[in-house]
Amino acid sequence: MKYTQNAKILQIKETTLVIGVDVASEFNYARAFDYRGIELGRLIKFSNDSIGFAEFTEWLKKLKEKHQKDHAVVGMEPTGHYWLTFAQYLKDHQIKIVLVNPFHVKRSKELDDNNPTKNDRKDPKTIAMLVKDGRYMEPYIPEGIYSEIRNVMDTRWRLVKGLNRVRNQVNRWISIYFPEFSQVFGNWEGKAAMITLKEFPTPARVLELGPESILATWRKEIRSAVGIKRARRLFEAAKATVGIRQGLRAAENELNCLLEEYTVLLRHCEKTMALVEELALQVPGIEEMLKIKGVGLTIAAGFVAEIGDITRFEHPKQVQKLAGLNLKENSSGKHKGKTTISKRGRRRLRAILFQGIMPLVARNQEFRELHWYYTTRPNPLKKKQSLILLCCKLIRIFFALMTKKTKYDPEKMVNDIKRPALQTAA
């Protein structure tokens, strides 16, 4: 998993055919070069389907025979999703694939002609030159259970995002047309509140029914937890409302659409989480992760979905860098810049770790003690800095549980932290 710049450069030999491909939705463009950057052959345009891929393979085969190259390295930008099918095709045909950073392509495209022009002929050459110089990364395409977990967690991510969007829109609707609603119901997602929003959402509809009819409607589906007092509070709130009174028919239609979308998304979330649980338990080591107090299925499965097969890593610091939690600084001469995390890599992995460390600090005694120590030591960290440090600690724990197949030991986790002040006192 660990590749140095020298190791990457040494992979490009005299017998290597370096190919840069600019991938798009319909047509791709490719150019071929040798290890010194001399172009071989002509630019090829091929469609992003099986016919085009076969044409590319034939073009590649002829170039290798003509220029006596024994293997090829194909570089491309991981922009959008169009590169995935082409990468899978190359992988199936044992052709090496590498990816270049789109930011690097954008910055280095003027090196040859001092011109910011961007076109389908120029980009493949820029990509190939970056590959030639070893400025690339080898992609990881998950397979088997890891591919399944990544796909299902991606689905869950989109569903949760959709749910949050709908929740915000419903809150906005309530604030506009019935602001006093939140004084009667603490949460509009409760059963009685949902019935109210579906049957009589506007103050005018509430006033038409009256407290007794409102209670009777609730009693059809709820036998307890609501009574005449709450119905009267809702009625009084409707009488004193400052909500907008115009366009109510269209407003009710808007709310009905939002509530229907909310119900569908909620059902899909429950179905997706059932599949997440089924798939996650098939991953070695995940049961030990779930035994840590405060670590839930979403955090454990999300971690596995983002990193894939953890055995491809040699050290937990590589996972830390993948999450963008490695440190960076901006210093020069006497100037000592501020040290922060790089925020490069997989942002979802970083988000999952940070979201997961919050309940750990709240519920897990070991993590709570460490957080207290980091924020109260002689050179104290800020609370957020401490949480970031604990995220890195969580990575190391997960790495050990999944690679060494050991059990989680709370005492060992705490004793691993070196405390100079405590050692001196002892």
Strand, coil or helix: 341: strand
Residue 242 phi/psi, 5° resolution? Answer: -115, 15
CB atoms under 10 Å from CB of 270, counted, come to 10
- Total-model pTM: 0.86
Q: What is the pLDDT of residues 369-394, one digit of tens each?
A: 999 999 998 889 999 999 999 999 99
Positions of the chain with pLDDT lower than 50, given as ranges = 1, 422-426
Q: What is the pLDDT of residues 267-294, one digit of tens each?
A: 999 999 999 999 999 999 899 999 999 9
Residues 6+ apart with CB under 8 A from 358: 387
Residue 425 has a pLDDT of: 37
Residue 424 has a pLDDT of: 42
CB atoms under 10 Å from CB of 104, counted, come to 15
Over the range 212-229, which residues count as b (16 or more CB within 10 Å of their CB) and which as e?
eebbebbeeeeeeebeee
Residue 146 has a pLDDT of: 95
Q: Measuring CA to CA, how many Å separate 173 from each of 114, 176, 252?
A: 54, 5, 10
Residue that has been written with the tokens 């929003």 in this structure:
197
Distance of alpha carbon 90 from alpha carbon 313, whole angstroms: 24
> What domains are defined for the chain?
5-132 (3.30.420.40), 148-277 (1.10.287.4070), 286-329+339-425 (no CATH)
Contact between 342 and 348 (Cβ < 8 Å) = no
Distance of alpha carbon 365 from alpha carbon 383, whole angstroms: 17
Residue 418 has a pLDDT of: 61
Residue 416 has a pLDDT of: 60
Bridge partners (DSSP) of residue 97 are: 74
Q: What share of the chain is helix, strand, coil (3-state, %, to 5)?
A: 60, 10, 35
Alpha helices (H) along 117-227: 122-132, 145-177, 181-184, 191-199, 203-209, 211-219
